[in-house]
Amino acid sequence: MSSMSALVKELRSQTGAGILDCQNALKETNSDIEKAIDLLRQKGLAAAQKKAGRETKEGVVSSYIHAGSKIGVLVEINCETDFVARNDEFQSLVKDVALQVAAANPSYVKREDVPADLIEREKAVYLGQAKEMGKPEPAWEKIVIGKLEKFYQEQCLLEQSFIKDPNITIKEILTQKIAKLGENISIARFTRYQLGQG
């Protein structure tokens, strides 16, 4: 196996991109695998953004019951065609999202779903905390913005770090799958049940 084909194989395993895309990325980056990964991620993001407006009327509702039957999750993830909904890659994404919901307990799919009155309450708490800590007034707004971002990262599924790889968010995984499968994919909703919690 030539060194180029070994690099292509490595790049494919890390990005899921096609052979030709990997070859082109390696040519563009003088066989620098890290730069090629970044290039493919950028191109995947661009491709995914083009697909983002397309309707997602197919998909699946799936369940996950955590070991010991103490936590259960239902998720609905949509795509454009039944063909992709039955694809192993899509099914794997659905399982990962259900596992994420079980483990990380998000409250919302995306930040736009958070009620405005809750955001205002959180901001008021963070402002109070900044004042109590004795921080100077010019710093208050930055502190509130920083704490609000952390709130989104904890409470919004798309912004959470993936439990299997904390270096990537659920939104980034979704973008990768959109680029790989060639269809828009969206997480519609989820419900998480925990034994003894209403």
Q: Are strands 165-169 and 161-162 parallel, antiparallel or unpaired?
A: antiparallel
Name residues of the chain where pLDDT drops below 70: 1-2, 13-18, 43-56, 198
According to the model, what pLDDT value does residue 135 have?
83
* pLDDT one-digit tens code per residue, 53-85: 556 678 899 999 987 889 999 999 999 888 888
Written as one string, the DSSP assignment of 142-162 is HHHHHHHHHHHHHHBGGGSEE
Taking each continuous run of H as one helix and of E as one strand, the counts in the chain are: 8, 5
According to the model, what pLDDT value does residue 68 have?
86
According to the model, what pLDDT value does residue 53 have?
58
According to the model, what pLDDT value does residue 7 have?
83
Contact 61, 74 (CB under 8 A): yes
Domains of the chain: 3-51 (1.10.8.10), 58-109+156-194 (3.30.479.20), 115-154 (1.10.286)
* pLDDT one-digit tens code per residue, 174-198: 988 888 888 889 999 999 999 887 6
Round to whole Å and give the CA distance between 173 and 96: 10
Residues in the chain: 198
Written as one string, the DSSP assignment of 66-101 is -TTSSEEEEEEEEES-HHHHTSHHHHHHHHHHHHHH
According to the model, what pLDDT value does residue 55 have?
66
Round to whole Å and give the CA distance between 159 and 110: 7
According to the model, what pLDDT value does residue 54 have?
59
Round to whole Å and give the CA distance between 79 and 93: 12
Round to whole Å and give the CA distance between 197 and 193: 7
pTM assigned to the model: 0.70
According to the model, what pLDDT value does residue 1 have?
44
